[in-house]
Structure 1
Amino acid sequence: MEADRIYNFNPGPAVLPLEVLKEAQGEFLNFNHSGMSILEISHRAKQFDEVLEKAKADVKELMGLGDDYEVLFIQGGASLQFDMIPMNFATKEHKGSYVLSGSFASKAYKEAEILGVGEVAASSKDVDFRHIPTQDELKINPEAAYVHLCYNNTIYGTEYHYIPETNGVPLFADMSSDMLSRPLDFSKFSFIYAGVQKNLGPAGTVLVVAKKSLLEKSPETLPTMLRYDTFYKKNSLYNTPPAFCIYMVGKVAAWIKAQGGLSVMAERNAKKAALLYEAIDSSEGFYKGHADKDSRSFMNVTFRLPSEELEKEFVAEAGKVGLGGVKGHRSVGGMRASIYNAMPYEGVAKLAEFMESFRKAHK
């Protein structure tokens, strides 16, 4: 590991590949012989257009998607998508059908509910979001405009390990935390979005990958910047885009390709997750995982210690040995280790070793 760099387990903004950071650093002052930084170059310049198009092409290639899908970059975070999706696609007659599996899934539903166009297809709130609702639990209205999922729940440490069958209702997914972390049949989804600051780049943009047929026409009653067709028709360049974020997403996508693609990411992520879950499961009850085993996330490992006092000590001691960002979300407490694509195995191994030494010192 580089001197003075810690192992960063923050959930987002999160760890980025060191190779990508160094590459960006190397061309930061003079991007592509332009004599300017990527932060200074015009978004209308041919050089930036090449950055944008390559980022889009690499993302679609990694996802195995064809010309019937388009890639957009939109500002406002995934939280703005919570509003834009029901505004663009749902009506009072054809509501959005929401599966509530955690905090952000619930927030998305709340926005649709405010608009009067949301309904609940399933929820695991009654068990403190410890598991992902199963296929049998889903009660999807066949007249729904779409089914909305949050594919990985960062706060609770749960993740979908199946693609729901919706019987023809378009499937929408917030993949902010696990986008491009493993192979999926992405063609089964009509609309995917991800705040890139967790697994794909720096904070500042949302990646949208959706069927063109959904993006071609938005309700004319919506303001310009809340319409998906605005971004689609202008290739995400209607207004000044988050140029640096797009540049970095392109770098990360190229890095994933160079590593061997999503199958390699999945193999690495499974090994990292297995290491931490073994540390939890073999701790004789000292560590207690939040998620049910069949719903455990490969991206966010959440667990508790016997007391809040020990949890505070755990965070403090972890920081002293270069393990940062392990404190859980303020709404649930405990610990959370986010082990996204860019987190090296060595960092996870060091955390697992620390967990064992801390347990032995405090059991």
Structure 2
Amino acid sequence: MKTCAIVILNYNGKEMLRRFLPSICQHSSFDIWVIDNASEDDSIAILTRDFTQVKLIQLSENFGYAGGYNWGLHQLKDQYEFYLLVNSDVEVTSGWDSSLIDFLYQNSDYAAVQPKILSALHRDFFDYAGGAGGFLDSLYYPYCRGRIWNEIEQDQGQYDDSLEVDWASGACFALRAKSFHEIGGFDAHFFAHMEEIDLCLRWRRIGWKIGFTAESTVFHLGGATLDRASPKKLYLNIRNSLSMIYKNEKTVKFWLIFIAKAGMEFAAVLGYLFSGKVELSKAVFSGYRDFLTSRNLIEKTISSESIPKKKGPVDLIFWNFMILGKKYFHEL
């Protein structure tokens, strides 16, 4: 069995491949694979012509982030001890991959670890998607060291450490292949967004830890597939967040969280309407509607007595950010 497969998921990402794949080829120690989600652009031609060292898995249709990785990694099962999943819009640095794998070798109780993720556009600032490790509050709102809501910190070495976190960013993280397959991989129902947080919750439920290490640094462009402000992304985040909580909380606790989140998010709908962002308001309603109509198809992963303890430093990130004015992680 080989040590690690670096695996990039691609869908119509020819420009991202041209821009970012050279750094991965230059700075990586392990096999590089691209899983292609039935791209309709020139991605395959570019890969076969310009990146002959990259191994290719071609899928029959676009299965999204969750399904695409599930189908692709199934073809690599039992070939590698670790996977290192990285978005197609990520630039890497020297030693990025070996540092992550070393962390997992040295910490046998960790299922996954993410690097420090900085912005590819503003390289001395943290990236929105993951920063320096992710946490959850009591309503399961995610936030990061380096990013709370839309407030992003400058990297001044304040998070140059290693520690246990609640979740690792899907933009770039290393994981144990066996633990991924044993838990059934990503929830393909999610299609895209929140699936890595759900995966980490399910790992933590059975005793695994999730880590961050600043020994590895990457730069993430973000928004290569869906812009952060797009209605589709908002819809997926709303629907998938509710699905994730439903799976991972007892029924009574879930509906209490549901009511609290609905109150906050429908207040945001009013803001969207007043500012003329009608499509965003529709996305919130659609997310709630589709969760409610499909929740009976969601398999709950919780036993009656087992709830994962969230490790975030605050109970309500909204209260701390909006009311108390705490914009940075060190203020929490």
Higher relative contact order (Cα pairs below 8 Å, separated by 6+ residues):
1
Q: Which bracket does the TM-score occupy, shorter chain normalised?
A: under 0.3
What is the TM-score of this pair, normalised by structure 1?
0.26
TM-score, length-scaled by structure 2: 0.28
Larger Rg over CA atoms: 1
